[in-house]
Amino acid sequence: NAGVTQTPKFRILKIGQSMTLQCAQDMNHNYMYWYRQDPGMGLKLIYYSVGAGITDKGEVPNGYNVSRSTTEDFPLRLELAAPSQTSVYFCASSPKGGSAINQPQHFGDGTRLSIL
Amino acid sequence: DQQVKQNSPSLSVQEGRISILNCDYTNSMFDYFLWYKKYPAEGPTFLISISSIKDKNEDGRFTVFLNKSAKHLSLHIVPSQPGDSAVYFCAASSPGANSKLTFGKGITLSVRP
């Protein structure tokens, strides 16, 4: 029962490098989300997707890009890494969005990213 | 502007006693509230939720109370167990199929044996 799988678990980048954080879910969920969590803070939504081919910006999208070519995968791309992007990144999925009762978001275990 | 506030960063309780975790919100459009639990090096896991049409929801040792007039909700854990030691996030969403969750900063609960 894999659920939401994120890779890698840890990564150190140099300023200006690029990388892709991978996220895959095997629950056939339509909705997928990327969050970042900074120390002592709650989760901030970066991007989300309501289905394959459809993505939209969240609260803190600057410096990131996403794509959703399949239902299962929702990669997050950092093009020019900056120290402000040092954070823990969580991917989540849900069958429905918003206030759908008893359809909570399922989270992966996160990717801890440091940019030096 | 923080729309979901968890003003106490930490709480310590004795095993077997009640844990009460509080959450306040400012957006009167929120109609669905959730609590997530997070262990170190893991992702948040869903714990319990409540719709704004209710004022209480129970699931085993966990009960969530909602006071809409005060824009306040609380999570009660009775009895508390050492395995409940974790960070607890309160989250809220407003109506709409594509509305998003707004999270609080979290409360670190420590249950002492």
Quickly list DSSP for A56-79. Answer: EE-S--TTEEE--SSSSB--EEES
Q: Which of residues 79-108 of B touch A (CB under 8 A)?
A: 89, 93-106
Contacts of A62 (CB under 8 A, 6+ apart): none
**Structure confidence at residue A49 (pLDDT):** 94
pLDDT digits (tens, 9 = 90+) for A22-70: 999 999 999 999 999 998 889 999 999 999 999 999 999 999 999 999 9
Find the CB nearest B96 among A48, A98, A108: A98
**Structure confidence at residue B62 (pLDDT):** 98
Q: How confident is the model at residue B95 (pLDDT cuts 50, 70, 90)?
A: confident
**Structure confidence at residue A98 (pLDDT):** 62
Confirm or reject contact between B39 and chain A (CB < 8 A): no
**Which residue of chain A is at minimal alpha-carbon distance from B41?**
A109
Among the listed residues B33, B35, B39, B37, the one whose alpha carbon sits nearest the alpha carbon of residue B55 = B33
pLDDT digits (tens, 9 = 90+) for B32-86: 999 999 999 999 999 999 999 999 999 999 999 999 999 999 999 999 999 999 9
Using alpha carbons only, give the angle B17, B46, B62 rounded to the nearest 5 degrees: 25
* Average pLDDT over chain B, rounded to an integer: 94
> Taking a C-beta distance cutoff of 8 angstroms, is the pair A110, B38 a contact?
no
List of chain A residues whose C-beta atoms are within 8 Å of the C-beta of residue B99: 97-99
- The amino acid at residue A75 is P
Find residue A91's DSSP bridge partners: A34
Could you identify the residue written with the tokens 């803070």? A41
